[in-house]
Structure 1
């Protein structure tokens, strides 16, 4: 980000957008680094199934991009049993601390609210304290783990945020 005037714009993109793919790959690597152990080098099958979302199930894929179009954050929305769920949130490590996550979450919330959502929900893991801190800071309230995470990943930390209509 050196030398670039920091302007953070929200851009809706296709799931296949190469910038989105790059950021989701970063997310997958980071999650594996945080959660893999010698005894469990990959996620259990039930967890993989719960986390795996088909591209066509996403109703919005969003990037936060700089003035030059460099994507620094990604997030998505899907409908899960009638609920608007925030998924695949990642900020490029080189851009952390610059407000991209806050801008991203506000954009996802605006998209959901414009579509009639009264709240959004999300799931994260207990080894992501930065994510938990962000969600609390921007008004999310912890809720019990919901399906499919309640059984597939019982240690999930889930949140909700009521949206203004």
Structure 2
């Protein structure tokens, strides 16, 4: 198996751009089609674009060398927890054309950098255990499983990592 590690460019963009809509539609379509039936119906809830506007958050898109959008992710401020200033990762997605190229890693790198710049002391996220590769990536980045911090009906796993802590 050959993995194309062609460099990608990650840019912070407004979350209401047409390319963001196209990526998020593809993400929601894929999740709905692959959602574990034992968990019920997939909720297609999308985080409002305004929540990804600084200083409340950011949204990033990864582009291939030809300028084609191949991945994305957002970061938004959520309610603090004790002394933690928390920002939550949302909607990390890599299109099939971008998979195996390290796109999710560079998207997460940029979201974590942005969180630190916005004053986060912890980055949190939720996912579904059926997304095995995503869970493995988060754990490899130093995220530890925590008790649920939201009521996302699609989630089965919640993670937290202090800002600045790397494995």
Please tell me the TM-score bracket, short chain as reference. 0.7 to 0.9
Q: 1:34: how far off?
A: 1.7
Q: 2:83: which partner in 1? A: none
In 2, the alpha carbon distance for the partners of 1:20 and 1:139 equals 27
Output aligned runs, 1:1-165, within 5 Å.
6-35=6-35, 37=37, 40=40, 42-43=41-42, 51-58=45-52, 59-82=57-80, 83-149=86-152, 152=153, 156-164=156-164
Contact 2:5-2:101 within 8 A present in 1 as well: no
**Alpha-carbon distance change, 142 to 89 in structure 1, aligned in 2, over 3 angstroms:** same
Q: State the TM-score, normalizing by the size of structure 1.
A: 0.82
Q: How much is the aligned-residue C-alpha RMSD, in angstroms? A: 2.4
In 2, the alpha carbon distance for the partners of 1:97 and 1:147 equals 30
**Alpha-carbon distance change, 39 to 163 in structure 1, aligned in 2, over 3 angstroms:** closer
Secondary structure in 2 matching 1:19: helix
In 1, the alpha carbon distance for the partners of 2:27 and 2:15 equals 15
In 2, the alpha carbon distance for the partners of 1:132 and 1:88 equals 14
Number of paired residues? 153
Q: 1:39: how far off?
A: 9.5
In 2, the alpha carbon distance for the partners of 1:98 and 1:110 equals 20
Q: 1:160: how far off?
A: 1.1
Q: 1:53: how far off?
A: 2.1
- Unaligned ranges ≥5, structure 1: none
Contact 1:5-1:67 within 8 A present in 2 as well: no
Choose 65-74 or 93-102, whichever is displaced more: 65-74
**Alpha-carbon distance change, 39 to 101 in structure 1, aligned in 2, over 3 angstroms:** closer
